[in-house]
Amino acid sequence: MRYPLVEFATALFFAGAAARMGWNWELPSFLVMFAGLFALACIDTEKLVLPLEIVYTTFLLMVALFVLASAIEHDWHHLLVGAVGAAAWYMLFFVLNLASPKILGFGDVRLALVLGLGLGWLGWRYVVLGFFAANLVGAVIGITLIAIGKVRRDQPIPYGVFLALGAGVAIYAGPELLAPFQTFHL
């Protein structure tokens, strides 16, 4: 029963991405991103690990598809912002992992490349929104689970799930959430 539900949920994410973004040359990269993030979230929930094979495969496929989209559209700006977003998230998470490996695993550091690239392609506001949405959702759910006694304060939680949720919030709800800030440019 679990596998048909995973496939159905993936199909819903794909349909939602296509409906939100419309057909364009970057859509295939976002479909790869959603497939990778959903697989990683499921694995992280169950095993508290983000397999590097899935993270790197997702990242490399996204890079290849974004390069293809940039070449076809003759627009390299989105790729540049995505690359800077990937580097920025990676460096931030690397430093956080270096400061406290118990709080942030290295799988999350690797996943930052995927998130920074995908959200960066959409623009700086999406990079910031995805980061804050992930942490807000994680904090609310984590505090709630602690308050109702489902997890202990010292128990690890699957942060990759919240990173994926934050990216989803940024992509699916970003235009509406960011509309009030259109006059500010990052």
Q: Is residue 171 included in any domain, yes or no?
A: yes
Q: Which of 123, 144, 125 is nearest to 133 (CA)?
A: 125
**8 Å CB contact between 167 and 113:** no
* Structural domains counted in the chain: 1
Q: Is residue 75 included in any domain, yes or no?
A: yes
Q: Is residue 73 included in any domain, yes or no?
A: yes
Q: Is residue 36 included in any domain, yes or no?
A: yes
Predicted TM-score (pTM) of this structure: 0.91
Q: Is residue 104 included in any domain, yes or no?
A: yes
- Alpha-carbon separation of residue 64 from 57, 121, 163 (angstroms): 11, 13, 22
Q: Which domain holds residue 104?
A: 2-181
Burial class (CB in 10 A: 0-12, 13-18, 19+), 20: middle
Tens of pLDDT along 22-81?
899 999 999 999 999 999 999 999 999 999 999 999 999 999 999 999 999 999 999 999
- Alpha-carbon separation of residue 21 from 16, 156, 158 (angstroms): 8, 35, 28
Q: Is residue 186 included in any domain, yes or no?
A: no
Tens of pLDDT along 134-151?
999 999 999 999 999 888
